[in-house]
Structure 1
Amino acid sequence: MKKLMIVLAAVSLLVSCKPGSEKNEKLKKSVMENTDFKFVKQKALEVVKTGFNAGDGYGEVWIRDYATFIELSAEVYPKEILKENLRVFFRLQGSDGNIIDGFIPKEKAVNVEGGYTYIYNDLEPTYCGHKNTVETDHEASLVQAVYKYIQKTGDKDFLQEKIGEKSVLDRMEWSLEFLLQRRWSKEHGMIWGATTSDWGDVQHCHPWGVYITEDTKYCLDIYDNAMFLIAIADLMELDASKKEKWQTIHDKLAENTMKYLWDNQNQKFIPHVYLDGSPFPKTFNENEIFYHGGTAVAIEAGLLSKDQIKVSLDKMIANMKASGAGSIGLTMYPPYPEGYFENKGMYPYGYQNGGDWTWFGGRMIQQLVKYGFVEEAYEQLIPMTERVVVNDGFYEWYTEKNEPKGSGTFRGSAGVLYKAIEMLEDAVEK
């Protein structure tokens, strides 16, 4: 009931306010006096103080997670500690430039049949790593994490620090070159990955689904390519000398991404363009599915116009209402039917198959603020912060009935929500 009252109040505010300064002042007052926002920011700082693993259900430090809360960690940790985590990923970098998914202390790495195959490197004495090979976002995530670290701390000297025989900057570029050399579709001029759901790390085949197998179906998707675009832009901003090589690659990749994945008629991204055939039945129309997370990251990559962003937001809100989900962090709508993924957790509206993840919903809020949709950002942020208060924690994901699931200290959610609130507060102040 409280949630409904808050949302109705926000809607009433947005509808009833007159244009001009009076409306702006009312919005500013509502944002700055929102007690849930204050609670969430304080709770986020408390959660991030307790470590760097993804949450209480995980032993590893994952780069795709760390990249989304490293800025928040900078509020409570000295930069040397943040930097050491980044160093571990570089020390465990593969001989072809690839980046691991996550790392864990060697003594905690348990080798079980069917489990992770751990990665070791003489450069790293304390930790070992693992790589979910169905993903194609590790390299881009690490570049983005270094960029955010430097933006937050001003420690640009880190780029010249040597790890082994290569500098951090060289290793960053090497990791992106891995994508060009080992994950590149020459026909499309884009990077490929396994068939997962939106941004997920579970492929359609295999009961676990984190490793490429002989049954893997390769495809192009919006999330991986948008992440790559952001990473290239970050690299060029950190070192202008990289523009000569990477600007053309960036611009062509952006062009190809819209050419092959944007469905102009339906004003949405196509879930997958398959390189060797779809794994799903011919009777299944996968393009009915709208990917929320990948769309949010595509907006961050600068792929959509302001009008297209508004259309995307309207679709997200409609999907949220149709599914009954609590927020626009809904992974996708509609979800894949039962049995389309072998992993038992990937049932309709379960986990990454239609679960509601603030970890990505918060990123959409950030982009709404960035592109001037401040009122809409406020309205769509409220359900996300309200359930943090109700559940006294940052849960990993929520069911379509808004029930919390997974880790209750999911640091990625804390990181993106904290940043979203700060961006919103800054916007209304200005």
Structure 2
Amino acid sequence: MRSLLIVFMAVCFFTSCDTTSEKKEEFKKSVVENTDFQFVKKKALEVVKTGFNAGDGYGEVWIRDYNTFIELSAEVFPTEVLKENLRVFFRLQGKDGNIIDGFIPKEKAVDVEGGYTYIYNDLEPTYCGHKNTVETDHEASLVQAVYKYVQKTGDKAFLNEIIGEKTIADRMEWAMDFLLNHRWSKEHGMIWGATTSDWGDVQHCHPWGVYITEDTKYCVDIYDNAMFLIAIDNLLELDPSKEGKWRTIRNDLAKNTMKHLWDEKNQKFIPHVYLDGSPFPDTFIENEIFYHGGTAVAIEAGLLSKEQIKVSLDKMIANVKASGAGSIGLTMYPPYPEGYYENKGMYPYGYQNGGDWTWFGARMIQQLVKYGFVQEAYEQLQPMTNRVVVNDGFYEWYTEKNEPKGSGTFRGSAGVLYKAIEMLEDAVEK
């Protein structure tokens, strides 16, 4: 009897192995031969070939966008072109080290009352810039973009180029110091910004909402601080000699971010911790909102464990189902009520108030692949790639009914989707 049992167990083991192997091959084939993925990658390359502005609805080159498609641009542009874009941001760097939001040719910069206040610098003859002051991700985005450029091209000599009297490397650290010197909450040990929705750059007050005003309410949030953490990691990898100063800052910032923003009971990030009181009614329970984008970037910053990532993903999927949205790119759930943001585009499920953005959804896909959730990544990626095929474009965002809105050539979405697909393909090959 014992020998028969051993034979039976052996047969079951090898049958199970064969089945598992077959399933792996089937899964690999479904990824590698996915026609939507092939269409999206080809379309993405076509889109980035046409320029560096955010999309067909924008005249500027924005650093928060360029940071997300510079790797894809490296596939179709010479390194000199990629570097020149980065140089413009450094040439227009402020006297306190701050980094502009975006730049535009001087002849296209039109001064309109209530519009952008343009920034000029003698170091930059061709372009002028502007800075959305309610956001605190420009400095971190530029450091990340330089890191991606160096990683993609191997051109580490770029860091030693001199602009004005400073090297690129020195200017990167100067930009990071700006956050410590001018955007730092000593009480929390974190960087602050204005009250925006998740990763958004529109504050709650003012009809436009891109400039700090006397009505601004300051807070610390997960997106800005996670972006800063990633930038510090990038800076240290590019220049390990800076370990002495920045490693301590990085460790303290990570600890403080989890201390002040992580809700252990509900396993989610608190939307905002305010420095001088909330701008919203006392009856409004803001912590009921789950921020999708900020959570994805927090995972990229290494703040969550694998178990916490799985819980976060499950919450995102549940939010998509509850809202009726098309993908986990859903900015947040639930959205802020009507009228909580003065900008008319910030209605519930509009723009950055619950709009569905592949620009951030695909970053979550990248992290799922990185942390071994390959099957889940494949499942959640397909709605994003499918709508590129259906709408024949990379739209800026989608409504809760999955209707495309904004620019149809949004290069940020093209960049992050392309990278997500490549990471998934590499994972199944291995």
Do the two structures share a fold, i.e. TM-score over 0.5?
A: yes
Residue 8 of structure 1 is matched in structure 2 by none
CA distance in 1 between counterparts of 2:26 and 2:380 reads 17
CA distance in 2 between counterparts of 1:414 and 1:393 reads 9
**TM-superposition CA deviations, 1:8-57 (whole Å, max 9, x none):** xxxxxxxxx99732221111010001000000000000000000000000
Residue 68 of structure 2 is matched in structure 1 by 68
1:293 aligns with 2:301: no
CA distance in 1 between counterparts of 2:18 and 2:130 reads 55
What's the secondary structure of 1:312's corresponding residue?
Answer: helix
**TM-superposition CA deviations, 1:366-414 (whole Å, max 9, x none):** 0000000000000000000000000000000000000000000000000
Which letter does structure 1 place at the counterpart of 2:429?
E
Question: Which TM-score applies when normalising by structure 1?
Answer: 0.96
1:311 aligns with 2:317: no
Superposed, 1:273-422 pairs within 5 Å as 273-422=273-422
Residue 185 of structure 1 is matched in structure 2 by 185
Which letter does structure 1 place at the counterpart of 2:25?
E
**TM-superposition CA deviations, 1:115-159 (whole Å, max 9, x none):** 000000000000000000000000000000000000000000000
Calculate percent identity across the aligned residue pairs. 88
Residue 49 of structure 2 is matched in structure 1 by 49
Residue 124 of structure 2 is matched in structure 1 by 124
1:21 aligns with 2:18: no
State the 1:160 CA deviation: 0.3
CA distance in 2 between counterparts of 1:27 and 1:48 reads 30
Residue 7 of structure 1 is matched in structure 2 by none
Which letter does structure 2 place at the counterpart of 1:199?
W
Residue 231 of structure 1 is matched in structure 2 by 231
What's the secondary structure of 1:125's corresponding residue?
Answer: coil
State the 1:310 CA deviation: 0.1
CA distance in 2 between counterparts of 1:266 and 1:24 reads 35
CA distance in 1 between counterparts of 2:344 and 2:19 reads 51
CA distance in 1 between counterparts of 2:372 and 2:115 reads 45
What's the secondary structure of 1:394's corresponding residue?
Answer: coil
What's the secondary structure of 2:421's corresponding residue?
Answer: helix
CA distance in 1 between counterparts of 2:289 and 2:373 reads 25
**TM-superposition CA deviations, 1:193-240 (whole Å, max 9, x none):** 000000000000000000000000000000000000000000000011
1:101 aligns with 2:136: no
Runs of 4+ in 1 over 4 A off after TM superposition: none
Residue 247 of structure 2 is matched in structure 1 by 247
Which letter does structure 1 place at the counterpart of 2:99?
I
Which letter does structure 1 place at the counterpart of 2:418?
Y
Residue 141 of structure 1 is matched in structure 2 by 141
Which letter does structure 2 place at the counterpart of 1:365?
I
Which letter does structure 2 place at the counterpart of 1:106?
K
Which letter does structure 2 place at the counterpart of 1:305?
S
Which letter does structure 1 place at the counterpart of 2:161?
E
What's the secondary structure of 1:416's corresponding residue?
Answer: helix
CA distance in 2 between counterparts of 1:201 and 1:113 reads 20
Which letter does structure 2 place at the counterpart of 1:155?
D
Question: Which TM-score applies when normalising by structure 2?
Answer: 0.96
Quote the RMSD (CA, aligned, Å).
1.1
Residue 10 of structure 2 is matched in structure 1 by none
CA distance in 1 between counterparts of 2:49 and 2:271 reads 37
Which letter does structure 2 place at the counterpart of 1:167?
T
CA distance in 1 between counterparts of 2:255 and 2:364 reads 22
Rg larger for: 2
Residue 79 of structure 2 is matched in structure 1 by 79
Residue 256 of structure 2 is matched in structure 1 by 256
Shift in alpha-carbon separation, 1:247–1:36, aligned structure 2, 3 A: same
CA distance in 2 between counterparts of 1:338 and 1:18 reads 55
CA distance in 2 between counterparts of 1:175 and 1:397 reads 30
**TM-superposition CA deviations, 1:91-126 (whole Å, max 9, x none):** 000000000000000000000000000000000000
Residue 34 of structure 2 is matched in structure 1 by 34
Residue 6 of structure 1 is matched in structure 2 by none
What's the secondary structure of 1:20's corresponding residue?
Answer: helix
- Extract unaligned runs of 5+ from structure 1: 1-16
- Extract unaligned runs of 5+ from structure 2: 1-16
